[in-house]
Every structure is written in C-alpha cells, then in structure tokens.
Amino acid sequence: MVILIFLIFVYNFCMSTQTIYFSFVDCEDVDRTAILNEVEEILKVDIKEKETFKNIDFAYNKKRNQYSASKILVFAKKFVPQDADVLFLVVDKDLYEEGYNYIFGQSAGNVCIVSIYRFKPCTKIDTEKEKFLLKERTVKTIIHELGHSFGLPHCSNPSCVMFFSNWVGDTDRKSKCFCEKCEKKLENYK
Ligand SMILES: [Zn+2]
Ligand SMILES: [Zn+2]
C-alpha cells in the first residue's frame, strides 16, 4: 500500500504540467482563443483565464506617455492564483522599462506581461493577414517570456524564440519554437 501511494506520488510529480493563467487587461483587439490554443499546443501547458484588474492606469508615466511594466508586474503578484505556475497579463498599452525606449514584454518569475500595442500592423485590424500577423507576434512574445519564467536566458540563434527582439522585425523573423539548445536546457529546468 505504501509503495503504491509512493508510486502514484512519483507519477503525479513526473506528469505534472504547468498551469498558466492569462488575464487580458484593457485588450480588445486580439483573438484570445487562437492565441491561447497555440501557446497551449506549443508549450504543452494547461491554460486558464482569470480576471485580475480593470486597467493599468496606476502604472502610467506622464513624462514618457507609457506604462511601467515592472510596476504592473509588482502589482500583479497579488493576483497570482494558488495553483498557478505563472500569471500572464496581456495588455494593449505601450510598455517601458528603465533603459529602453519601449518593451514588448517582460517576465518576473511567476508573473509576465506582453503588450500588443506595437504588434499591430495598422490602427484598425480588419484583414485576415493583419489578424494573423498580430497573433503570430503575440504568441512568439508570450512563449519568449514564458521561456524566461522557466529559466531560459536569451539565445543567439535569430530563428529561436528566445532571441532578443530589438524591434518587431526580429520578432517576425524568429520562429515560435525553441532551438535545440534551448529545448535541451528547458528539459533540465523542468
Ligand atoms: Zn527576453
Ligand atoms: Zn535558442
């Protein structure tokens, strides 16, 4: 009996998939289902949605006319559900971090954020091509930030999802997947 319980414990431990909660804050223009399904499929994680806060006005910096990503992430820590490995926020506001003109996303352990603000090919997303581009960029950045949360650093391979995007062209060029090296590192961290 004791051995059986032990084996069940070991099995559950080995088979446990990570649970990522997503919260879309002030973000209307994206196809949530398409994005979340793709992230779930690529990373083989469990994805849930959660309402957190209504807006990110508290992080607004008037001088820069941008929103502080780290302020938002500190605040978001209070909203991480007990069963979550990561709480991931998706916003539609221009984010910044000290030392950068803007950022696409950021990871701080069990909280991450991505902004779709600079991923829109035009102000009004109408055509299928525009929707596709917005989705691709968002998915790549989500996977990149989750890669950081799982312990991965940046990668020098320009087609690896862990490559640092200096501008959106870098994001378009890279793939949604980890290169072989990063994939191996990831296995060791899990
Ligand atoms: Zn990064
Ligand atoms: Zn890589």
Among 28, 49, 51, 145, which one carries the catalytic annotation? 145
pLDDT tens digits for range 39-58: 999 999 999 999 999 999 99
- Residue 147 sits in a domain whose CATH number is 3.40.390.10
Domain presence at residue 7: no
From residue 47, how far is each of 17, 67, 169 by CA, in Å?
10, 26, 28
Residue 1, in any domain of the structure: no
- 29: in domain: yes
Residue 117 and residue 148 in contact, taking contact as beta carbons nearer than 8 Å: no
- Tell me whether residue 59 is in a domain: yes
| Rounded distance between C-alpha atoms, residue 42 and residue 142, angstroms | 11
H and E: helices and strands count for the chain: 6, 8
**Domain region containing 49:** 17-189
Q: Does any domain span residue 2?
A: no
pTM for this entry? 0.89
Establish if 11 belongs to a structural domain.
no
Q: Is 145 annotated as catalytic?
A: yes
Ligand nearest to the CA of 164: 1
- Residues 119, 113: Cα–Cα separation, whole Å: 14
| 122 CA → ligand 2 middle, Å | 30
Output the average pLDDT for the chain: 90
Taking the centre of ligand 2 as the mean of its atom positions, its distance from the CA of residue 43, in whole angstroms, is: 15
- Specify if 8 maps to a domain: no
Helix axes 128-149, 32-43, angle to 10 degrees: 40
How many domains in the chain? 1
Alpha-carbon span 124 to 131, nearest angstrom: 10
- More confident of the two residues 20 and 26: 20
Q: Is residue 4 part of a domain?
A: no
The ligand that comes nearest to the alpha carbon of residue 177 is 2
55-103 pLDDT per residue, tens: 999 999 999 999 999 999 999 999 999 999 999 999 999 999 999 999 9
CB atoms within 10 A of CB 171: 20
